[in-house]
Amino acid sequence: MKDMACAFALTTPFVTSGAAPAITSSWNGRRIPVTPWRRPIRVHTACLAVNKEPNASKDEEQLDEAAMRAAEIHEVMNGLKQFKDRIIEDATKLARKVRAPKKQLEAALASHPDIIRIDGHIAELEEELKHLGDR
């Protein structure tokens, strides 16, 4: 992870005409020339949504913040649900391999600590969405 951050910090912004191309390092350590069609991204696209107009009212800013928070909550909830599905799928595959009874699998999944924690977090996020008025 540190190498990826360093790669973005080491990149040069532009190639000047007539000069030799500047050298940058990619995330895996190889050296590549910077060309006009392969320039590093200067601003992350998520940062562009945060830039507001100077004349925006406070109500618009609050709505934007609420909408951004709601979108973030939906994204986190989708990730948690996918992780929960993956845990259930892996446990089901393992139960089939060892030919465990279905009741034993259901009991193990009902008491699985990660699934319990995920369900708790999903419930908290749904409550927060209700307070934001997204539902």
Amino acid, single-letter form, for residue 16 = T
Q: Is the dihedral of CA 114, 117, 123, 125 positive or negative?
A: negative
- Would you state the pLDDT for residue 132? 84
Secondary structure of 52-76 in HEC code, one letter for each residue = CCCCCCHHHHHHHHHHHHHHHHHHH
Domain ranges of the chain: 2-42, 52-132
Give φ, ψ of 29 to 5 degrees: 95, -10
**Residue 107 in contact with residue 52, Cβ under 8 Å?**
no
pLDDT (0 to 100) of residue 65: 84
Chain centre distance of CA 91: 25
pLDDT of res. 32: 55
- The 10 Å Cβ neighbour count of residue 8 is 14
pLDDT (tens digit, 9 = 90+) per residue, 27-37?
A: 455 555 555 55
Q: Would you give the end-to-end CA distance of the chain in angstroms? A: 37
Give yes or no for residue 64 having a pLDDT over 90: no
> Is pLDDT larger for residue 78 or for residue 67?
78
Average pLDDT in the 76-99 region? 96
Confidence of residue 112 (pLDDT cuts 50, 70, 90): very high
pLDDT of 18 strictly over 70? no
